[in-house]
Amino acid sequence: MNDYVGSFDPRFIALRGTPKQTEEVADAYHVFYAARTLGNDAYAVDHSSYIYVVDPQGGLAKLLTGDLPGHKLADELRQLIR
């Protein structure tokens, strides 16, 4: 997981829980995910692509679509920071 997340930016930290914890959080946030076998020991994970912005208290501040262009995403985040 660290290798994958680190490929986006080395400052990112990958966290994960047990399968049960993952399921509980996915249910709480209405996240879809499903692993599927591709063959030759390879797999893929299909999942929803929302961006969950969490406030410092751990609450959901905003739900953004994963296909926002960069400038619109930056605008949304700037508004939240204010």
Which CA distances in Å does 20 have to 16, 30, 38, 56, 62? 11, 15, 24, 25, 25
pLDDT at 46: 96
pLDDT at 77: 94
Mean pLDDT in runs of 10 for the chain (82 residues)? 88 90 91 94 93 90 92 94 88
pLDDT at 36: 95
Q: Which residues share a beta bridge with 39?
A: 42
Among candidate residues 65, 39, 34, the one with its CA nearest the CA of residue 52: 65
The token duo for 62 is: 């905003």
pTM of the model: 0.64
Among candidate residues 20, 27, 76, 30, the one with its CA nearest the CA of residue 50: 30
pLDDT at 2: 83
CA 26 from chain center: how many Å? 10
